[in-house]
Amino acid sequence: MNPFRTVLNAGVSTHTISLSDKILTLGSCFADAIGSRLVRSKVQALANPFGVLYNPHSIHRLLQYTVFNEPVPEHTFLKHQDIYLNYDFHSELSALQKDVLQHTLRNMIGATHHFLKDAQWLLITYGTAWVYERVDTGEVVANCHKQPAGQFQKSLLTHDTIVQSFDTIYRALKEFNPDLRIVLTVSPVRHIKDTLELNSVSKSILRVACHALQETYIDVEYYPAYEMQLDDLRDYRFYKADMIHPTEQAEDYIWEQFATRYFDAPLKSFIDRWKNIQQALAHKAFHPSSDAHQKFLNDTLKKLEELKSLVNVDEEIAFVKSQRTG
């Protein structure tokens, strides 16, 4: 039967993700979308620990901090409306005192360093090739933090610049963790502030760069989240009211295709079991003390106990036990 749309089949990767694998996600909103779903599925994932990052240069710089466990340079901090921020990080990482923010960033970099050391996967999502450089230092910032436009020079990264920047951090990553595999994606979120025309230019550069990197490095591959949103789903009903961000339904579809491509059979089986338990945990009874609901809780508790050897379910077990009457 004609599906009345172009269906993108992402295929199955020759290298699969297992329940015991560790995955770090970094970058634009898609890194959040996939990362949060990995966490909810009990996979050992660290989802976008530095906040949303858009351009390749800033993502690579944060990876440099992580690999070498480097301190954040003093000149990258700023104060805006009594709040301390850092040009290399998203505004969600902020504080009322500079030393508190420095401590937070130091701990975050250290934790990510140790996580990445024995991780099997790194998922990077590029959002835009447009960057803003500080006029005073010439450095690219991850976030302008609403500072005056005159303090920055806007420019467009080239394909060659992205590839060269990636090569530098790739060599450091492989020396740090030789077994690491990297999945690249381009965010389907449209940056219309750059105009639709220049957004297309930006995404094109990112896509060409990803293709070049996939062809160059044997342990780097591309996942077509961008194409799934624009060519497979291809309808405004799959965008939120802002007509920019994918809906949760669209993200779920892209996530399901990601699982089909990368998850091994035991992980897929586990996730199916875990979905049933999640539905049980979300169930709200009209009569919590009834015999039927108490039996339901005991059955759910038994299922959780069966998973203790696979994943940490202490929180879920405590939650179920708190609802039992006997």
Q: Other C-beta atoms within 10 Å of 246: how many?
A: 24
Confidence of residue 326 (pLDDT cuts 50, 70, 90): low
Of 225, 154, 149, the closest CA to residue 194 belongs to 154
For residue 287, pLDDT beyond 90: no
pTM (whole model) above 0.85: yes
pLDDT value of position 50: 95
81-91: average pLDDT: 95
Distant-in-sequence, close-in-space partners of 141: CB < 8 Å, separation ≥ 6: 58, 87, 88, 131, 132, 133, 134, 152
Least confident of 90-99, 208-217, 230-239, 262-271: 230-239
Cα separation values, 62 from 89, 212, 325, Å = 8, 22, 49
Whole-angstrom distance, CA of residue 42 vs CA of residue 252: 16
* Mean pLDDT lowest among 64-78, 82-96, 166-180, 310-324: 310-324
Separation of CA 60 from chain center: 14
pLDDT (0 to 100) of residue 14: 86
For residue 5, the model assigns a pLDDT of 78
Beta strands (DSSP E) in the chain are 22-27, 44-47, 77-80, 83-86, 121-126, 130-134, 140-141, 152-156, 181-186, 220-222
First-to-last alpha carbon distance for the chain, in angstroms, is 54
Distance between CA atoms of residues 81 and 14, nearest Å: 50
Per-residue pLDDT for 1 more than 60? no
Is residue 271 within 8 Å of 45, Cβ to Cβ?
A: no
HEC sequence for 85-126: EECCCCCCCCECCHHHHHHHHHHHHHHHHHHHHCCCEEEEEE
pLDDT average, residue stretch 176-201 = 92
Tell which wins on pLDDT, 253 or 4: 253
List domains and CATH numbers for the chain: 22-263 (3.40.50), 264-326 (no CATH)
**Token pair of 160 as six digits:** 């060659």
Q: Residues 216-245: pLDDT tens digits?
A: 999 999 999 999 998 888 888 888 888 888
Give the model's pLDDT for residue 133. 97
Give the C-alpha separation, 98 to 107, whole Å: 14
| Per-residue model confidence as pLDDT tens digits over 173-186 | 999 999 999 999 99
